[in-house]
A and B are shown apart, each in its own frame.
Chain A
Amino acid sequence: MEEFIHSRFNYWIYVILMMIGLWGMISKNNLIKKLIGMSIFQTAIILFYVSIAVKSETANIPILPHHGHDFSPKVALAHADSPYHEEDHGDHNGHHTHVETPKVPDPDGYANPLPHVLMLTAIVVGVATLGLALAITQKIYREYGTLEEDELLEKVRADDHD
């Protein structure tokens, strides 16, 4: 049981965060608190996507080495010097370094970049949603003078009867 929780730690966190967000959106009375819930909910999904990109403890970020920064994955280094395509490449000091490498980078050595890219878009969507929702909240407050949902609905009902 403990193993079951440990090995999927990030997924448990995402489920818990998502439930907190849903609860906030559904049961809170204040509109701003609902929006906080919405933000938590969306962030939980981002956490989920980032989690599925992880491959192993040793997998690294998928960036080609440049200017002496070596992001080469540790797992790949165990059986090859470096995972990159064999080529001469000069750094800015002008002298050439020659690396013995296998032809194709080992994909297990890198985290999956795609979910991160997707989440950049999802973050933008989340920001747009939150911005729009806050603007509408502001309009509601200006028109009705309250952000408590029960009071609001009462006033809306009064409007309906006019």
Chain B
Amino acid sequence: MNKMIYMDHSATTPVKKEVLEEMLPYFSEFYGNPSSVYALSNHSRLAIDKARERVAKAIGAKKTEIFFTGGGSEADNWALKGVAYKNKDKGNHIITTKIEHHAILHTCEYLEQQGFQVTYLDVDEYGMISLEELEKAITEKTILISIMFANNEIGTIQPVKEIGELAKKHGVLFHTDAVQAVGSLPIDVKEMNIDLLSMSAHKLYGPKGVGALYIRQGTKIDPLIAGGAQEKNKRAGTENTPGIVGLGKAIELAYEHLEENTTYLISLRERLIKGIKERIPYVRLNGHPEKRLPGNANFCFQFIEGEALLLSLDMVGIAGSSGSACTSGSLDPSHVLLAIGLPHEIAHGSLRLSLGTGNTEEEVDFAVEKLVGIVDRLRMMSPLYEKVQGGNK
């Protein structure tokens, strides 16, 4: 087998060398608990302060509006539960979409069990919400709108600024799950009227197990984790100093190089999409043709199943992912692919290749070349393809 070609950057990314180097001293050298009084802890406090500043700067927030968490899912849980409980006297209605990450959807289901009402907005064939439908869904009881910045499966970028305007106009809080967007897209929470924003370090070449929630100053929210006085009494637990340092460095790097990375990734992505569309019949691109994450390509290959595709790709050293039921352990394919209107049998044949800055044109060409053979081999085995080919016999 050749070296591995990693094309699953939406799942996670490798920690960048510069990021790791900044983190390392905070494991064994400057290990002091940031809450302690002695000099050793000063190092930790200063490091966390610097990271907070870097995160704030990257998204146009104030330093005091950044709260570190144990990852993106915690940030999502906190935003929804924290806002819901704190504002329950104002109303019990939350608006979200059908294509959110499960960290949002399952939290919404939980809140429904607690007596909250949730509207799940439909999306169009590209995965876009309708602003008109969003505005129509707002009632006097609406306390929160939670709509993801960019979708993790199909890469579609929502009209976040316009959503923010609507939320502001109606006096409703706006949370966005920006786990896939932070580090890949320009974000300005003030200009976009975002009240709460979730992020995760390991999607932007930082470490796993650390993230942050931006909370606009003055936003009413309950803590999710009770205990110590860390993070201004809002998020208890001894700070993950090395992780937080890693997030700070990773996000700074991401935004320093945003423009060049974006240009590079879009050129790779378009090369991949073009190659596949030209060489493989019965394939569709999922998501929006332009308004999509720079590195995201998501396809459905008709007549074959996604897990079989992934296994075959793995055998030639290519790592990708699929929204097929067989990869989720349930019988249903991805809720996102169903929400954009794909029939089950098509959705089962999905493949997501999410590119990163470490990928090359040669790797993209290699992936296209291998996919041609793999798709053909699986189709030759498929009774569904036989029916299509029937006319040609």
A and B bind: no
